[in-house]
Amino acid sequence: MTGTTATARNGDVELAYERLGGDGAEPLLLIMGLGMQMVYWNDALVARFVEAGFSPARFDNRDVGESTHLADRGVPSMAAVMLMPQVVAPYRISDMAADAVAVLDALGWESAHVLGASMGGMIAQTVAIGHPTRVRTLTSVMSTPSPRIGRAKLGAMSALVAPPARTAEEAADRAVRTFGVIGSPGYPLDEEWLRTYARKAFHRSHDPAGGRRQLAAISASPSRVSGLRRVAVPTLVVHGEDDPLVRPAGGRATAAAVPGARLVTYPGMGHNLPRELWPSIVSEVAALAGLRPS
């Protein structure tokens, strides 16, 4: 699935984005997670959102894909990220939220339904807190209001920070291994699609250091719990009951913080979006937007 591609700007940061769907549909901004490019939003899933009445837009966060890579900010060590993130993080989640708002500006959208997955959920939460007039509804998927809530299991984090791939085929192999650990134990892993994504992402822009800077931003950013208590837009929280990377406590804490939020959890879902759950998730997001009942 292809759409209109362009570039937004937030200060010195350029953000590659793509809009799909036609005019007149409900605007939906999709925000991806740690180290993942906008093309990780599966085209078939995006097509389902279009069929449900949305006009989705997806973008590369700073430090991944075709957006600006802040290589001049250095590469923080994992020890520094864990022990003194406020010192080594070159930016915060709030800066990435400002990037998302810049994409809304470039799209000409005064407001949109905002859906974020994993780190993207953190960014989406921050947009809703800091830029409330820009958000029609908030959907936070497999995310948390604080890196200290729902901490990853040791094996899940180890899989995430494994040595970087040197070739596209190594990237494909690593993606399968990683999601074999953090993915959904109750559903089959779509290895063919995952390998295709990893090869494409490698050729678009292979920069493991960018993901390390994003991880530092997560660790250095403050809790959003108090800010979420002020969120007044309809909110949906989606989480896998078997997520080893952001454990279910993260989803529960997000939903508990936002007044009136709806929490939907799925047995067997880990830290990815299994194809079998797409109809339910899209229906929930559409119902939140008032497009149709769930």
The pLDDT value recorded for residue 158 is 79
Q: What's the pTM value of the predicted model, to 2 decimals? A: 0.96
Answer whether residue 293 is part of any domain: no
Phi, psi of 231, deg, nearest 5? -70, 125
CB 189 within 8 A of CB 183: yes
Q: Among all chains, which residue has been given the structure tokens 């990853």? A: 152
Per-residue pLDDT of the chain (294 residues; tens, 9 = 90+): 566 789 999 999 999 999 987 778 999 999 999 999 999 999 999 999 999 999 999 999 999 999 999 999 988 888 888 889 888 999 999 999 999 999 999 999 999 999 999 999 999 999 999 999 999 999 999 999 999 999 998 888 877 777 888 999 999 999 999 999 999 999 999 999 999 999 999 999 989 899 999 999 999 999 999 999 999 999 999 999 999 999 999 999 999 999 999 999 999 999 999 999 999 999 999 999 999 754
Sheet holding 112-117, edge to edge: 4-10, 13-19, 54-59, 26-31, 112-117, 135-141, 235-240, 262-266
Answer whether residue 219 is part of any domain: yes
Answer whether residue 294 is part of any domain: no
Q: For residue 88, which of 98, 99, 77, 96 has the smallest C-alpha distance?
A: 77
Q: What is the CATH classification number for the domain harbouring 179?
A: 3.40.50.1820
Report helix, strand and coil shares of the chain as percent, to nearest 5. Answer: 45, 15, 40
* Domain limits for position 184: 4-288
CB 238 within 8 A of CB 261: no
The pLDDT value recorded for residue 191 is 97
Domain count, the chain: 1
Q: How far is Cα 68 from Cα 13, in angstroms, rounded to an integer? A: 5
Q: How far is Cα 248 from Cα 250, in angstroms, rounded to an integer? A: 5
